[in-house]
């Protein structure tokens, strides 16, 4: 209200310049260290391949994209990655909704316990989580020991170095984000609305479907986008817990970049991945998130 006039006594910069100055660091960081490098990646994806060095400086070519389009191996890996990403996302969002709902409707102590576990898991580095998955699910791991020990299994089942291991590992990475994204929105729901629905004769499931589910749509949208972004870029989980059959685009990109020194192909693949993620982001923003909740998360 009084912003313009009250500052006259202060020998400071005009408001507009002050605002610009305050925004300078964020513009510097996000333009200088994100947008410009992304532009560089785009440029890199249009350079020519070469057997000497990583790419031909200053050249224009579609070598990288041609490699991506023509290679069967790349198709196979890309298809697997998308399927893997969609599968993990569906599982993570389902778990997120169930878990967040459980935390929301629990009494105080239960809620604190459930949230603590989710927050701790969120803030634990994925390397520790994957290490933990190895300890639990390996053939000589805790779970197999337990199940063979009590006689449920005659011999250990293989739960790592295959698709199951990769999915478990990736779920372990993304689930906390999904839980907290849904919980953040659910915590703003007025309990009386649910009680009113129950009083009017709605069962627990009906109240969930008619009152809670519509309310948490933005949370589900955020959970979906975050889980999908992380899973489509999966690298560590499939590498450590998968087998050669669970190659993802992320693993392929790093191999092209670091061992084959084929930077145009690596850049092209990265550009395609980012485009895919952003298309999904846009589609979900447009479809689910009328209120702009993603930007406020």
Residue 273 within binding range of another protein, rule CB under 8 A: yes
Residues in region 88-107 near another protein by CB under 8 A: 95, 98-99, 102
Question: Which of positions 25-54 make contact with another protein (CB under 8 A)?
Answer: 25-27, 29-31, 33-38, 40-41, 44
CA distance 267 to 145: 44
Is residue 17 a contact residue for another protein (CB under 8 A)? no
User: Six-digit token pair at 172?
Assistant: 């372990």
Give the nearest distance from C-beta 108 to another protein in angstroms. Answer: 10
Minimum Å gap between C-beta 41 and another protein is 5
For residue 127, CA distances in Å to 169, 172, 177 come to 10, 11, 16
> Computed from CA positions of residues 26, 31, 33, 35, in that sequence, does the dihedral angle turn out positive or negative?
positive
87 binds another protein (CB under 8 A): no
Task: Check residue 160 for interaction with another protein (CB under 8 A).
Answer: no
CB 169 within 8 A of CB 240: yes
Closer to another protein by CB, 68 or 114: give it: 114
Residues 175-234 that bind another protein (CB under 8 A): 175-176, 180, 183-184, 187, 203-205, 225-226, 229-230, 232-233
Task: Give least dist CB 81 to another protein, A.
Answer: 10
Report H helices in the chain: 3-6, 15-30, 36-44, 63-70, 72-105, 108-122, 126-137, 142-149, 163-186, 191-199, 204-207, 213-215, 217-232, 236-241, 249-258, 263-288, 293-296
Query: Is 259 among the residues that bind another protein (CB under 8 A)?
Result: no
């Amino acid at each position: 209200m009084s912003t313009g006039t009250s500052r006259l006594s202060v020998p400071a910069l005009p408001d507009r310049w002050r605002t610009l100055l305050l925004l300078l660091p964020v513009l510097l960081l996000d333009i200088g260290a994100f947008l410009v490098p992304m532009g560089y990646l785009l440029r890199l994806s249009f350079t020519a391949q070469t057997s000497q060095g990583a790419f031909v400086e200053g050249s224009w070519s579609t070598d990288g994209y041609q490699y991506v389009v023509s290679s069967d191996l790349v198709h196979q890996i890309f298809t697997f990655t998308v399927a893997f990403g969609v599968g993990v996302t569906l599982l993570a969002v389902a778990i997120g909704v169930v878990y967040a709902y459980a935390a929301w409707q629990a009494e105080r102590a239960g809620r604190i316990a459930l949230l603590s576990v989710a927050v701790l898991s969120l803030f634990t580095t994925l390397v520790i989580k994957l290490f933990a998955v190895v300890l639990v699910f390996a053939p000589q791991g805790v779970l197999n020991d337990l199940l063979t020990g009590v006689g449920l299994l005659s011999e250990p089942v293989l739960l790592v170095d295959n698709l199951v291991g990769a999915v478990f590992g990736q779920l372990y990475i993304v689930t906390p984000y999904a839980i907290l994204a849904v919980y953040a929105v659910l915590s703003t729901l007025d309990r009386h609305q649910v009680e009113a629905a129950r009083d009017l004769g709605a069962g627990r499931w009906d109240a969930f479907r008619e009152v809670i589910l519509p309310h948490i749509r933005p949370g589900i949208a955020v959970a979906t986008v975050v889980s999908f972004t992380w899973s489509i870029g999966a690298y560590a989980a499939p590498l450590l817990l998968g087998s050669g059959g669970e190659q993802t685009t992320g693993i392929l990109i790093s191999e092209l970049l670091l061992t084959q020194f084929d930077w145009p192909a690596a850049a092209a693949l990265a550009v395609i991945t980012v485009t895919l993620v952003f298309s999904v982001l846009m589609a979900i923003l447009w479809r689910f998130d009328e209120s702009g909740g993603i930007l406020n998360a």
